[in-house]
Amino acid sequence: MAHLQDLAARQLAVLLDVALSHAPGRYSRYIKAIDQLLATAPAPIRNWTPRDMDTALYWLNHPTNTTAST
């Protein structure tokens, strides 16, 4: 699970053009970036918590929701 969360964090960082270094506090910076994204999101997503979005990103990238390229 940690690997998928890290993948989601890296993908979000690229989308938001946010640097997420490997320094301590990376997850906090990731959650802060999500919070900033949610502040400008349309309703009803604007009402999500950063943790809700983190969970959604996790499941979006979960192996059961992806297919292998052929």
Q: What is the pLDDT of residues 1-54, one digit of tens each?
A: 455 456 666 676 676 677 777 788 888 888 888 888 889 889 888 899 999 988
Would you state the pLDDT for residue 1? 46
Cα–Cα distance, 10 to 4 (Å, whole number): 10
How far CA 66 is from CA of 3, 22, 62, 63, in Å, comes to: 15, 27, 7, 5
Q: Is 30 helix (H, G, I), strand (E, B) or coil?
A: helix
